[in-house]
Amino acid sequence: MKDSLRFAQIKTKRTMKIREVSKELSYQVFDLCNELKLVKREFEISNQLKRSCTSVAANIEESQAAESKKDFIHKLRISRKECLESVYWLQLVKDKIETNSDVTPLINEYKKLSFMIWRITVNSK
């Protein structure tokens, strides 16, 4: 009983912040992707970036309905992988596509989010 209560507390307290951050980052990436499509006519990278970034938030949300601690950790690990992929795509945009948006803050925020997710998974074991 104590272990399941502790697990429920971990799910709510620690993931509240990453849920908010990932959702806000998704909104910012949507704006960037719209710029890439409309101004730069860059569709493939834009679509891939949007998929990886929204997957971060989607998997964090899905972790909230985890059936077990193992399932919870698994969903967050997937989310962390998507964070790292998002950093890759954002770095590619920064290095190869001239945009009106500064991509560096997004890269830094996804790196921070990745670390936060990692900390939750390590502390949840």
Quickly count: other Cβ atoms within 10 Å of residue 91's Cβ: 15
Q: Which two tokens stand for residue 44?
A: 């493939």
Residues of 98-119 as b/e, b for ≥16 C-beta within 10 angstroms? eeeeebeebbebbeebbebbee
**pLDDT band for position 40 (cuts 50, 70, 90):** confident
Q: Which fold has domain 2-124?
A: de novo design (two linked rop proteins) (1.20.1440)
pTM: 0.87
What was the pLDDT predicted at 33?
94
Cβ-proximal residues to 112 (8 Å cutoff; 6+ apart), any chain: 21
User: Domain segments of the chain: what residues?
Assistant: 2-124
What was the pLDDT predicted at 98?
87
63-108 pLDDT tens trace: 988 888 899 999 999 999 999 999 999 999 999 998 888 999 999 9
Q: What is the rounded CA–CA span in Å between residue 100 and residue 81?
A: 27
What type of residue sits at position 114? S
Closest C-alpha to 34, from 100, 96, 89: 100
What was the pLDDT predicted at 1?
44
